[in-house]
Structure formats: structure tokens, C-alpha cells
Chains A and B, each alone.
Chain A
Amino acid sequence: MPQCDLQPIEAILTRTGTGQEKTLAILQAIQQQYGYLPTEAIEDVCRRTGLRHADIWGVATFYDQFRLTPAGKHTIRVCVGTACHVKGAERVYEAFRRQLQIDPDKDTDKDFLFTIEKIACLGCCTLAPVVQVDKKVYGPVRPEAVHEILEATLREGDAEPTAPGNGKRNAVSEAPVELRIGVGSCCVAGGSMDVRRELDQAVAKMGLSDSVVIKPVGCVGMCHQTPLVEIVDTASSKNNGDILYTKVSAAEAGRIVKRHFRPKGLWRKLRMAADDALDGLLETESKPLVRRAVRDGEICTFLGGQQRIATEYCGRINPLDMDEYMRHQGWQGWQQASQISPDAIIERVVESGLRGRGGGGFSTGRKWQLTRKAQGNPKYIVCNGDEGDPGAFMDRMILESYPYRVLEGMAIAARSIGAREGVLYIRAEYPLAVQRVRAAIDICHERGLLGDLKLSIMEGAGAFVCGEETALLASIEGKRGMPSLRPPYPAEEGLWGKPTLINNVETYAAIPWIFRNEPGAYSAIGTAGSKGTKVFALTGKVTRGGLIEVPMGMTIRHIVEQIGGGVAGGAKFKAVQIGGPSGGCVPASLADTPIDYESLLSVGAMMGSGGMVVLDENDCMVDIARYFLEFTQAQSCGKCTYCRVGTKRMLEMLTDLCEGKPCDLEALENLARQIKAGSLCGLGKTAPNPVLSTLHYFREEYEAHKHGRCPAGKCKGLIHYVITDQCIGCTLCAQRCPVGAITPEPYRKHRIQQEICIRCGTCKAVCPAKAVDVES
């Protein structure tokens, strides 16, 4: 290994600062510099800062983000979130490894070009399965097409996509027509930056820059249709003339502009006409544009029935345009709140009935009250943006799309408890959210909107457990993200031992609405025990996935069938996984369960942070349980025995089942109950839920696995692929089989050599005659 150059470290430390709370930032900067954490660099940091070897080593080895060995030039992150899992992420991961010939015990190819990692969730669930290569996100990725991604990466080299959404640059002029382009992560992953570039060019080319404004907007929620372009005539009094284009490609962008606008000036008109004629000659088949009016049909059903509070003005406002935010009632809630006493603020929140949206569902007003009453100075306010549930991305979307709303909510909360300092802890996997919130804080500070409240961002480093509030605080203090026993609750002894208010992103986002509307307006929505609305990430095997916000009390069936358009591809609806690794699977037979905290608990699920993954008949429930256990096991902090060892033992039992090995279901269930009862923190206490709920509702599938059968045909160890008489002898399967288990025999029925087959499913995916079956 080459000796590393320690020259840059001094500058890094000057930039980051040197206290223990800076440990994560220092390590992040070092990794940025060297691509990993060289031992010499860490030693040098210890020498210069007085940080202890033991502390820094503990942190460096705790968080997923940090590498202790050099990485390849490019990093492939295969998302293994729930939505990606059910759509075959594992196969994509294996395909990359095969293609790159990475040794089983390594994560980097021999040429050090690519390092591959699994990532808990990229939060682009509607594009599943998703892969991020360096900063570019691809989705959906087919295992048989991974070589294309690798080739594209090598071709494009180091070119980085331009960072979207800078508030100042995109300041909105009062132009009559807006071309709105979604710049949420899903849209960006779908290629919206390329679309935007094309739109920019087309508008400039046509001389429309004065009358047409291209406006980046936050998430529209219809992530299944990304990228989205909407044309809005703001001058027009009637709003129903808006036109929405879905799944727009860069190539189509220019044509959209041409279709709607006339070029300015005669010379331009002439040139455009010539261009069009040329285009017409070049384009042999002119694809019709997808054109949909907002209030029509399918999109309407998707948006209808939803009620937007945390995600209000969805798809209509530029995330960082402060003036626009203000035109849309921004800071009015703050104005209301600043005119009443802190106690009155709290009273108002209590009255609203708002409960924590991070999963626990504790009364928000009560939490504020406790923090206000707590002895100790100063007091801190923290925003928990460490959304780590695989299959959930509402916090990411809110931070990306409505950063000011979250900050406004925090400002109101800070006033109520008397805090002057606050931290937004945001997962490192959400670079766009970090970037937008950072810009938003700067703008707020510049404009003096936050008064004497000072807010800063702390970037996580990849540890799901840091979503647990005590672990999150430990992480902010620059330590390993280990939860601690409560009480004391953070409200009494939180950050640096001082009273600290921690709420989740979505909770803060609901606050401004509560204050600028009539008392009672929020509590009028929802059910007796669960007020207001809840944002869900609707993903999985549903026709229309996306980010939705619905009033509490809506049934699962309504969400899946009406909003989501039912199960995609005509398969049978089997269950909904709600609440991610802490939640459970609600079977289709209980689809009329209303969505509220208590009802979900009563059916063995939980609100969690709001992931909602629809499963169909092709999903194996044992595999789903194993999947979640694998996740929690990997994310366990390793502190308490039940979680650290217990979840490992459960995972082993489930893995045995998925491989057709014997397993004592009673023992599995007993262990699950012990872990639930005994674990120290929420992660461990809820980790058994996916197992307990599937055991309860789908026990027959467990029994089938015990006898070596996977009814859904999912568990690799229990299935094999066969080619039926439908085979037309096209040899496609043989050509694509990554391990040569099929011999090409043109015009004859093909055969799979089972002893070679790795059950990757490529043959089934590529067969044009549907001649590949799965047998269990």
C-alpha cells in the first residue's frame, strides 16, 4: 500500500474543527480526501487533535460509510431496500459481482475500477431495483443489463451530473408560463436533469426566456411516472389548463417546448421550421407524446383522496425559492406562533392531537411540554432526518421539497421550549436533501427569519440505529451511535446532557399548517386517536407507486386499490408490509383495517415511519421476514444481548427455512418474543415484528418451507427453473445465462442443467415465449 500523503490533514481539521463532536465530520472529510480511512491519517488526526485512538476507532468501524481499505475508482451502491428487494435487488447485486469477477471475500474488482456495496435504502423505491454508481442513480435495473451501466460509467468517466436546484439561480421571475420539472431524487434518478437541460436549450433557442420560466419543483409524489414536466399558465385564471407530461425523456423535452410555444421573431421561426423538417426526416418513428391533464383519469385517482399538509403545494413550488414559499403561506404559521406565549404554542400543539411521525406515535405536544418543563440550560432542538427504513422515503422527499416548512416548524418548536440552537441530523445517503437544507438554512439566516435560533446540519454516516433518538444524540456528540436506556428521556437529559426536543422531519413539517389554520382544523382530520394526515411511501408491486399523504383512518384497501391502482401486472394482492423492519405484514384479508396508530398495532404491524410495500402472490412471506431480519441484524448496534445475538439466531433460523432445512417454529416464535420483551431500544424491541406477523398470518408458508417447498417460488434453495414445451428455440436464454447452464440449440427445446444453474432468473426474464417456469 502506498504511503499516504498527510499534507491535506491540517487543512481538513481547520475546516471541520477538532472537538469530539467533529469526529464524524473529520472522518468524512478524510474519506473524501483519500477514498478510505488510512491508518496513518487517523493517527495523524489523533496526534493533532488529542482525540483518543479508541474513540475514533470505535466511530470509524461503527458507521457503514467509512472504509478502512482503498476503494475502486467508482462505487456501485446496490439498493437493497424493501421495494428493491421484492423486485430482485439481490439478483442485480450478484450480476454486478459476476460481471466484475469480484472475489467472494472482496468488494472491489482486481483493477480497482469498481467497488460494490449494498446500501440499506436509496429512497428511490418507486424506481426499484435501483443502483447508484458514484452520483448517478439508475432504475429500474435489470440484472441482464448491468454491463450497460458499467460501460456507461467507464465511458462517462468522472463527469458528474450538475447539482440541481440552487435557490438563487432559479429565483422565479413573474413570467406568465412555468415549465415545472420535478427535481426530487426520484425524478433526478429518472433523468430529470437531462430533461431540464434540454428544456433550457429549447427555450433559449426559441427566444422564450422572458415569457417561459423553467422551474425546478420538489417531489410531485407520482414517482411511478418520473420524470415529470408540467406546463402551467400562471396568467390564466382557470387552473385546469395545466398540462402534465409523464416519463419524459431528454429527447422528448425539446418537442414539448416546440409543441406549446411559438418561437419569438421571424428569423427564429424560419430556423425552427427548417429544424422541424430535419427532425421529421431523421425520426423514422415519431413517438406520440404522453399528454395528460392533471384532473383526468388515472393521475386524478392517484392524487384524489389524498390530503396534503406536510407535503402541501406538492409539485408546485421551487424548493428553495423563499419568495414563492412566502406567497404560499410560508412563515404565516411562525407569525401566528410568535405572537402567542410558549405555553400557548404548546397548548395548540396538544390540542391538534399531533403524534410523532417517526414511528413511536408519542404525543408531540406532550413532548414539547416535557422539554419546556425540564430543568437545564441551554436547551436544544433536533430534527431527526435519519430515515433509514428500507422502503421509506418521505422524510427525504419533505427535506428536498419543502426545506423551509421543516425549518419553520423547528422555529416554532424552538420558541416553545426556549431553544436557541438546533441540529438537523440527515442521513448521508440523502445528499440532495443535505444540500437543499443547507442552502435553506443559509437563506433563512441571511434573511433573519430564524431570529436567534441557530441551526446546523449533521450528516449521518450510515447507521439505521441512529434513527433511535438516544443513538442519534450519541452520534451528534461524535460517538458510536449506541442507544442508551430511557429514562432519562432526551426531554430531560439529551444532547450534552441538556433538555433536548427531538422530532421527526414529518412532524415538524405539519406544524406550520397547524398554526396558520383555525384551532381544531388539524384535529378535525383523522380518527379519534390519530389526528391529521400521514405521508406514506407506497411502493412494491403496486401499479402507481409514489409519495402519498392521506388522512388518518383511510383503509389499506383504499390506498392500495384507489390511490395505488391495485397490484401491477394482474397478480393477486397478498399483503402490505407496513412500518418496515419494525412493522409487520397485514394480509389482504385485513385490507379494510384503517390506517391509524392503534389499528395497525392491533393487526401486528405499526405505523413506523411510513413505508408501505405492497406484496403480491409471487412474494414469499418467509423470505420477506428473513429479508427484514437480515436488515435489522446488520443494523443492530451490537449493544444488548437480545438484539445482537438474538436477531442473529433468528436470522439463522429463517435462512435455514429458506434453504429447506429443518427449523423449530415454536423455538423461533419464543425467541422472537424474548427479543421483543428484552431488547434495550426500539430497534431490538420491534425487530421480531416482521417474523411474528408473518408467522401469525402465513404460518402455512413456514410449514411448507419446513417441508422443502416455497409456495411463492422465491427461495432459491427450494426452486428450480425448467423450460417448457413453449420453447421456440430462439437461444436467447442460452446466450444470456451467466453461467452457461443452457446449451444453445437453435429451433429445439432448450434444457437447463440444474447442477450449474444459479437460479438467477435471467432466462425467465429474457424468454420471449414465456417458456421458463419455476418449480418448487
Chain B
Amino acid sequence: MTQNNTIQLTIDGRPVEVPRGTTVLQAAEKLGILIPTMCFKSGCTPSTSCMVCMVAIEGSGALIPSCGAVALEGMRIRTDIPQVAAARQSAIALLLSEHAGDCQGPCQRGCPAEMDIPQMLRQIASGQLDQAIATIKADIALPAILGRICPAPCEKVCRRAGHDAAVSICLLKRFVADWDLASGKPYQPQCKPLTGKKVAIVGAGPCGLAAAYYLAAAGVASILFDKNSQPGGMLTTIDKAILPSEVLKAEIDNLLSLPGIEFCGNVEIGRTLSFQQISSEFDAVFVAVGKADVGSFGLEATDRGIKVDAKTYRIGQTNVFAGGESIGRRRLAVRAVADGKEAAVSIVQLLSGKEVTGVHERFNSRLGQLVEGEMQQFLATAQAGSRRAVQKPSDGFSPADAVIESRRCLGCDCLKKDICVLRDLAEHHHVRQHTYKGHRKPFTRQTTPSGLVFEQGKCILCGLCVQTARKYANQKGLAFAGRGFETEIAVPLHGLLAESLSETCADECVKICPTGAISRLP
């Protein structure tokens, strides 16, 4: 007989003894069994609303939310059966079907290098150019160059274009990169200590250079072989009026000065050095020779280019990777730069003994077509007015214009995209956003003068903010309003958000909100 104040149960067949009153979730934690939660935070009253913490009772097969369900004597719980996975998946899919918000903004999704454009724009707008260049270089190794030659696919999908004209993203990126190069101490990433591994990069064009950059950041040394005496590849062939030599040189020189990067010109692989030789001498090889003939490399190729795994850029199970124009037509230099960055990820995985899976593809919620009134919500906090123009194509923005132009950004991306529980769960459970089609919530946004942002369309109605607001007296707080599908978290009596929460309380709400519904501008 168990003692009066403890009970025994089994979870996934493993027995556990817990104090009476313990929830199933806590009992599972004790066994180290991970159950996802979203609407529940330790220390709060379970709302049992999101239903992602579902577990099954063995025998009856009944599903219960583990965050609120009290463990009972003799209970047999399963967390590892398909039925539970399906229940969690459908709960997440249902939440996503009504979710009104983008994780990444359309611009970031439209950028082949997936640069976090909205963040860069916010940093420009607040004058933090040193941070803006870090944001850019996290994904684009050669922004001053691309800032002059990129046809800006990001601007084609900019939401603002639906109102007046796209934000001048490319020129703003160039503005930051030029400012950086002119600063005398151009930005360099925080590179990890060299691991001793060495990669041969064949071809020092935009793709090879980008690969070298991100390998260096990860502590992997590389030698860039190029048949020409100078690095740059196809970049050197561009009209100097568009891409002045000094910009090209300055940006590449800065890149080459990173630890572990070596440029070796006038070397033609297949003639000067055999391909077999470098592939055996180096830990890995990255082929980025552009349109050059690779017949002598002995690699399997079609008329489009070298055959690689589309996700990892790896050739078969070898230590050879290829990217850029060498694996197929690349209309955009930024695509080649993205290839280099992504291949570097795969190479680092190989060299550190991990499974080579390539860049981890993140789940992205998409807002899709706006419905009536939503553009107004986006425009409410953005700079009014049309797109800033420059006198001639070769001109960049003045600092003042850059700030104004960057403020035209609608901020489509989610401010909590990197810490959102819903996004993580969707990704982890392989949920497609449109498993269930139907009307989503309307996109709304309220921003207080202090930068608190409230977007009801991203709310999962966990009520953690309502609970939090309750702790603070003398404020109107937040309330559940309405019923059913129309339920929302709202300021009581249609009051003002800024007046309903104290700043301390607001910060706590931002922290506890599992999605991007309540966030704060940086």
C-alpha cells in the first residue's frame, strides 16, 4: 500500500511515485519525459486551453491535457503513441489555421539569403548602424557589392508595395555596408577559434567567398583557389560604373583578412593541381567555379551542372560540396552568396562529425492576402510618404533619408520569431500551416508610445497575460472578451492599451506570452 500522501502511476510504462495533487505533466517531468506545453507556465494556473500537452490514458484511450490533469493512483499514461502525436499535431494545426501573422516578413522569405531585413531596417531607423551591419552580415557576406548589383527580389514581395511602393531595401543595405567600409574598421564576425580543419574552395567568386566567410566564422580555415590572379570571379566583370573597383576590393579584402582564409590565385584545378589531390589533402572541398568546365574533376554532372544534394550541396557521400553557378543557373549573385553560406553549414556539420543535413529549415507562418482594413493596421506605425529616391543610380542614401526610408517598413515580421513557442512546436511536430483551411483572425496591431506591441491575431488565448495583469492592482488589466471563435484578449471597455498595463506588468506579459501576440519593439 502506498502512503497516504503519495500516489503511484506509470507513464509510458515507467512507474513513478509523486505527491498527491501532482499533475501528470509534473510526474512526467520527474521521469524526464518531455511533454510540450504552450498555454501553461510553471507557477500559473493551468488554463487547459491550447491542448498541445495532450496525453492518453491507457485502456480507455481518453485524451487529457497533462498540464491540468491531476495524477491519480494507478493511472497509466502514454505520451509516446501515434494517437497522442496526432492530437498534438491537430491542435497546433488548428491554432495555425487562425493565426494572423508572419514569422519572417515576406521580404526575408523573398531574399535568397534569408537576410533579416525588418531587423536591419529597425536598426537603421534607430541609428544603430553597427548592429545593422551585423544583422546583414549574418546572412550576406558581401553587402556593399550586392547592394549595387542585386535586383532585390525582396522588394518585389514587400508588403508596402501593396499600398504605395516597396521599401528601398537594397539601397538601405548598401547604405549600411558603405558606412561600415568607410568607418575605417569594417565589421568582422566573432570567429570561433580555428579547429585545425581545412577546406579547399575552388573558385573565389561570390559563392566561394561567402563560403570562406561563414567557414571562418565557424572556426574552419580555407584556401580559395582561383585561376585568376585576383579574387572576385564574375564580380570583376561588372561595369565599374555600377560596381566601382574600390568597393569590390575593400569588401573582399576585409573578407580575406578573416582568420584562416587564404587566397591562392593563378591556380587552375585540373591543370595546376589535380582535383583528386586537393580532395584527399583537404578535409573537404567546395566547388564554386561558376560556369567553368569541371570535366576534369571527375564529378557526376548534367548539362545543368554538377549533381548535388539540393539541401546540403554535398556530392553523394563524399567530402566534396558544390554551389553557385557550378550546380545550375544562378540568375542572381545573391543566390550564389546564399549557396556559399548554406554549403558552409553542411561542411561544418561534416567536419564536426555531425549528420550532414544542411541548413535547418524553419517553420514560417504566412499571413497571406490581406483583408480589408489590415493594411491600415500595418501602416499605423510606419512612416507615411512615398519611397525615397536617389539622384542617380550610383548614389547612395544620405543618413537622414536612410532613416526616413527605413521607417517606411511595415514591420511584417514577428518580433518574437526566434522565441515563439507556437513556431517551435509547429516545426517540431512537422505541421503544415494550411492543414485546415478557413478564415483566420484579422490582423490587428496596437503599439503604445513605450513600444509595447499587441497583436491579437497571434494570440492563442492562453490567458497568461490576463493572469499576469491580475497580479497588479490599480490597473484595468486585460480581459477575455467575447466568446467562441471570436474570443480575444482585450483591454476592458475598449480602453487604451497604454493605460491598462503598468510598464513592469507589460514587460512581464511580453515575457510570458508564448507567441508574438505581446511583444516589445527593440
Docked Cα-Cα span, A671 to B492, in Å, equals: 34
Of A55, A641, A644, A671, which one neighbours B484 at CB under 8 angstroms? A644
Docked Cα-Cα span, A526 to B508, in Å, equals: 59
- Return chain A residues, CB-CB under 8 Å to B308: none
- Are A680 and B63 neighbours in the complex by a CB distance under 8 Å? no
The reply on B480 being an interface residue by CB < 8 A is yes
- Are A649 and B97 neighbours in the complex by a CB distance under 8 Å? yes
| Min distance, Cβ B479 to any Cβ of chain A, angstroms | 4
Interface centre among A39, A463, A647, A677 (most CB of B within 10 A): A677
Number of interface residues of A (CB under 8 A): 40
Of B49, B61, B438, B480, which one neighbours A641 at CB under 8 angstroms? B49
Report the nearest A residue to B94, measured CB to CB.
A645
| Min distance, Cβ B262 to any Cβ of chain A, angstroms | 55
Of B62, B87, B466, B485, which one neighbours A638 at CB under 8 angstroms? B485
Report the nearest B residue to A68, measured CB to CB.
B494
Interface centre among A463, A641, A677 (most CB of B within 10 A): A641
- Return chain A residues, CB-CB under 8 Å to B72: 487
The reply on B476 being an interface residue by CB < 8 A is yes
Report the nearest B residue to A646, measured CB to CB.
B94
- Are B477 and A642 neighbours in the complex by a CB distance under 8 Å? no
- Are A678 and B479 neighbours in the complex by a CB distance under 8 Å? no
The reply on B233 being an interface residue by CB < 8 A is no
The reply on A43 being an interface residue by CB < 8 A is yes
- Return chain B residues, CB-CB under 8 Å to A678: 51, 54, 63, 87, 90-91
Against A, the Cβ 8 Å flags (1 = close, 0 = not) of B22-59 are 00000000000000000000000011111100100000
The reply on A61 being an interface residue by CB < 8 A is yes
| Min distance, Cβ B431 to any Cβ of chain A, angstroms | 13
Report the nearest B residue to A463, measured CB to CB.
B483
- Return chain A residues, CB-CB under 8 Å to B460: 641
Complex interface: stretch among A380-388, A581-589, A628-636: A628-636
The reply on B65 being an interface residue by CB < 8 A is yes
Report the nearest A residue to B487, measured CB to CB.
A638
The reply on A652 being an interface residue by CB < 8 A is yes
- Return chain A residues, CB-CB under 8 Å to B239: none
- Return chain B residues, CB-CB under 8 Å to A488: 70
Interface centre among B86, B87, B484, B492 (most CB of A within 10 A): B484
Chain B, interface residues (CB within 8 Å), range = 35 or more
- Return chain B residues, CB-CB under 8 Å to A43: 493
In the complex with contacts A485-B65, A674-B87, A640-B493 CB distance below 8 A = no
Docked Cα-Cα span, A636 to B482, in Å, equals: 11
- Are A638 and B493 neighbours in the complex by a CB distance under 8 Å? no
Against A, the Cβ 8 Å flags (1 = close, 0 = not) of B302-320 are 0000000000000000000
- Return chain A residues, CB-CB under 8 Å to B68: 484-485
| Min distance, Cβ A120 to any Cβ of chain B, angstroms | 13
| Min distance, Cβ B81 to any Cβ of chain A, angstroms | 13
- Are A645 and B481 neighbours in the complex by a CB distance under 8 Å? no
- Are A53 and B91 neighbours in the complex by a CB distance under 8 Å? no
Docked Cα-Cα span, A39 to B46, in Å, equals: 31
- Are B490 and A57 neighbours in the complex by a CB distance under 8 Å? yes
- Are B91 and A638 neighbours in the complex by a CB distance under 8 Å? no
Within 8 A of B (CB), among A27-84: 39, 42-43, 52-58, 61-62
Report the nearest B residue to A677, measured CB to CB.
B63
Within 8 A of B (CB), among A612-650: 633-642, 644-649
The reply on A480 being an interface residue by CB < 8 A is yes
- Return chain B residues, CB-CB under 8 Å to A674: 86-87, 90
- Return chain A residues, CB-CB under 8 Å to B461: 638-639, 644
- Are B466 and A680 neighbours in the complex by a CB distance under 8 Å? no
- Are B485 and A636 neighbours in the complex by a CB distance under 8 Å? yes
Docked Cα-Cα span, A42 to B493, in Å, equals: 8
- Return chain B residues, CB-CB under 8 Å to A633: 484-485
Within 8 A of A (CB), among B92-129: 94-95, 97-98
Report the nearest A residue to B72, measured CB to CB.
A487
Docked Cα-Cα span, A636 to B484, in Å, equals: 5
- Return chain A residues, CB-CB under 8 Å to B485: 633, 636, 638, 644-645, 647-648
- Are A62 and B482 neighbours in the complex by a CB distance under 8 Å? yes
Report the nearest A residue to B52, measured CB to CB.
A641
- Are B483 and A484 neighbours in the complex by a CB distance under 8 Å? no
Interface centre among B70, B95, B436, B492 (most CB of A within 10 A): B492
| Min distance, Cβ B515 to any Cβ of chain A, angstroms | 13
- Return chain B residues, CB-CB under 8 Å to A671: 90, 436
Report the nearest B residue to A670, measured CB to CB.
B90
In the complex with contacts A674-B87, A678-B87, A485-B48 CB distance below 8 A = yes
Report the nearest A residue to B480, measured CB to CB.
A58
Within 8 A of A (CB), among B310-354: none
Report the nearest A residue to B68, measured CB to CB.
A485
In the complex with contacts A485-B69, A671-B90, A674-B90, A57-B436 CB distance below 8 A = no
- Are B481 and A58 neighbours in the complex by a CB distance under 8 Å? yes
Docked Cα-Cα span, A642 to B86, in Å, equals: 13
Against B, the Cβ 8 Å flags (1 = close, 0 = not) of A472-488 are 00000000100011011
- Return chain B residues, CB-CB under 8 Å to A62: 480, 482-483
- Are A645 and B95 neighbours in the complex by a CB distance under 8 Å? yes
Within 8 A of A (CB), among B162-182: none
- Return chain B residues, CB-CB under 8 Å to A640: 48-51
- Return chain B residues, CB-CB under 8 Å to A635: 483-484
Docked Cα-Cα span, A42 to B495, in Å, equals: 13
Of A639, A642, A648, which one neighbours B47 at CB under 8 angstroms? A639
Report the nearest A residue to B493, measured CB to CB.
A39
The reply on B372 being an interface residue by CB < 8 A is no
Report the nearest A residue to B88, measured CB to CB.
A678
Report the nearest A residue to B39, measured CB to CB.
A641
- Are B48 and A680 neighbours in the complex by a CB distance under 8 Å? yes
Docked Cα-Cα span, A645 to B484, in Å, equals: 8
The reply on B478 being an interface residue by CB < 8 A is yes
Docked Cα-Cα span, A674 to B51, in Å, equals: 12
| Min distance, Cβ A627 to any Cβ of chain B, angstroms | 16
The reply on B470 being an interface residue by CB < 8 A is yes
Of A484, A636, A652, which one neighbours B439 at CB under 8 angstroms? A652
Docked Cα-Cα span, A484 to B83, in Å, equals: 23
In the complex with contacts A57-B492, A57-B493, A674-B86, A642-B91 CB distance below 8 A = yes
- Return chain A residues, CB-CB under 8 Å to B495: 53
In the complex with contacts A58-B481, A678-B87, A53-B476 CB distance below 8 A = yes
- Are B481 and A61 neighbours in the complex by a CB distance under 8 Å? yes
Of A52, A53, A463, A680, which one neighbours B65 at CB under 8 angstroms? A680
Chain A to chain B: the 10 pairs with minimum beta-carbon distance, closest first: A638-B487, A57-B492, A54-B479, A53-B492, A645-B94, A636-B484, A54-B477, A61-B481, A53-B476, A57-B479
A and B contact pairs by CB, cutoff 8 A, 11 listed = A61-B483, A485-B65, A488-B70, A633-B484, A637-B484, A638-B482, A639-B48, A639-B461, A640-B49, A646-B90, A678-B87
Given contacts A641-B91, A642-B51, 13 further A-B contacts (CB under 8 A): A54-B470, A58-B480, A485-B68, A636-B483, A644-B461, A645-B485, A648-B98, A648-B484, A649-B94, A649-B436, A652-B437, A652-B438, A680-B48
Q: Interface of B with A (CB < 8 Å)?
A: 46-51, 54, 61-65, 68-70, 72, 83, 86-87, 90-91, 94-95, 97-98, 436-439, 460-461, 466, 469-470, 476-487, 490, 492-495
